Amino acid sequence: MRRIFLILGVIFIGFFTSCSKKDNAPDPLITVSPESLKVTADGGNSTIDVTMNGSKWVVTSDQTWCTVSVKSSNHAYIQVTVTSASNSTKNERTAKLTFVMDAKETVNITVVQEGQKELYPDYSSRIAPDASGMGSNAKVLAAKMFAGWNLGNSLESTGGETAWGNPLTTQRFIDSVKAAGINAIRIPCGWNSYIEDAGTCKLSASWLARVKEVVDYCYSNDMYVILNIHWDGGWLENNPTYDKQFTVNAKQKALWQQIAVNFRDYDEHLLFAGTNEVNSGSATPVEENFIVQMSFNQTFVDAVRSTGGKNSYRNLIIQAFNTNIDLAVAHLIVSNDTIKNRLMVEVHYYDPWDFCGLEADASWATVKNFWGAGYVKYGVSNWGQEDWVRTQFQKMKTNFVDKGYPVILGEFGATRRSALTGTTLENHLASRAYYFQYVSQQAKNYGLVPFYWDNGFTGNLGCAIFNRSDGSAFDRQALNAFIAGTTAGTYPF
């Protein structure tokens, strides 16, 4: 009996000892220090200390802009680098890092990143909305533009209005353009060279006055005017990237608010276009480029609307990436607006390029001097002919015009290869004139307002149809073809 009691006592003591060891075992634990991070808008690296008594931990981030240098570890202690990308917006944002040890013990830390601070003053000087003289919505206004023409290589010239070889624009010249049958002028315009204070992005009053003077030349002829920010040295056009998004948008906002205020009292004859040919410099742009370019469009719309007055109702033009038709269809998201039916979309058309602009044979194509079914025997490109024109313009009609957004064909044209001689030159010019007639007619048929690209250059490979010095018609054949096409075409609205 005593032996039995001894055995039971040993079992009891062993059980008690076992329970005591289990009760005294350290609890599973993972700690992260600090428990939260505050980072600047510019982003960068921060460090955290991770300690555990388990076998392994893993970490995940719920935001792609916040990443960690080590995603899992079996070390009892390790230092981890947390990397935050630049925040290109004004809004604060938050990421959560979740550490899980041995698939059950969890600890979270919060990463808070501040938004960017405003770089420039607010130039909106907002006034109450004014609808007087602004009765036409986008389709009604587009229908009023019979034929458009570009005052190219003048007000957008870096270094001054005459820096690229054209004389100062005069009232007499604009009168001549109107007399030729054109009632809409696109004014490519540069602004960066006329910022008098880089710290505030303040525009020169004298430059604003000069642009106003040229716009008034058109207004005195009852013409419609499109005013934009053109290439402008590339600060806007060549930077559709996340790292430049905030600074470019800040500058664009400051400029457009000043432009909009300066022209706020002009009626519906004046339209604003945000950019020109925003591009990445690559034949294969990526999603980042499209997203950033859409932000450029939105900044433009918001900046103009913020000034109030007639700008609350003004028709505005947003651009497709690189003003390319296929990229418009695939990627353009129409900007949000505070008023309905006051937005238009802009694309350009220089297809096929081996006919329209190629200056010398290249690996991908040889120069083509002719275009169109009637000129096949002389050698035309194997793409970009009449059926292509209709197909491309139909895409814009289906995706934008039919949805309430008329399209501005802001540029189209083909260089004049005047170095050719004899019947080759004669046939080239006839073919080129046919191109202008066909493209402008089909543009109107599909709801695109055609604007001929004229750079003022009358030499070989130039695009001028007017002599800028006196307003006379330099290329009467091209002018007549363009007017014939715009006369024959009929808008579907």
Query: Which positions are catalytic?
Result: 277, 411
Measured between alpha carbons, how far is 148 from 223 in angstroms, rounded to an integer?
10
Measured CA to CA in angstroms, residue 6 lies from 1, 9, 15, 19, 150 at distances of 9, 5, 14, 20, 110
CA 451, 457, 461, 464 torsion: positive or negative? positive
DSSP notation for 393-454: HHHHHHHTGGGT--EEEEEE---B-TT--HHHHHHHHHHHHHHHHHHHHHHHHTTEEEEE--
How far from the centroid of its chain's Cα atoms is residue 330's Cα? Answer: 14
DSSP notation for 297-359: HHHHHHHHHTTBGGGGT--EEEE-GGG-HHHHHHH--PPP-SSTT-EEEEEEE--SHHHHT--
Measure the CA angle with vertex 313, ends 311 and 315; round to 5°.
90
Q: Are 97 and 61 in contact (CB under 8 A)?
A: yes
Measured between alpha carbons, how far is 6 from 4 in angstroms, rounded to an integer?
5
CA 336, 134, 492, 480 torsion: positive or negative? negative
Measured between alpha carbons, how far is 146 from 136 in angstroms, rounded to an integer?
15
Residue (of 310, 330, 302, 306) closest to 318 by Cα position: 302
Measured CA to CA in angstroms, residue 400 lies from 316, 393, 405 at distances of 15, 10, 5
